[in-house]
Structure 1
Amino acid sequence: MSMRLQEGPNPIVVRSEGQRRKVCAQQKAKVMHDDVLELIPGEYFMKYVNTSDERKSSTSVESHDLKKGKRHSEEDSVAAKRNQQVMEDEALARTLQVS
Structure 2
Amino acid sequence: MKEWGRLMAGIAAVKAAGHLVAVAVHTHHWDANWLETPEWMLELCRGLIDNGADIILGTGAPVMQPISFHRGKAIIPASATSSSTRTAPRPTMRRVSMCGGAPLYG
TM-score by length of 1: 0.25
Look at both structures and tell me which one has the larger radius of gyration over its CA atoms.
1
Higher relative contact order (CA 8 A, sep 6+): 2
Higher strand share: 1
TM-score by length of 2: 0.24
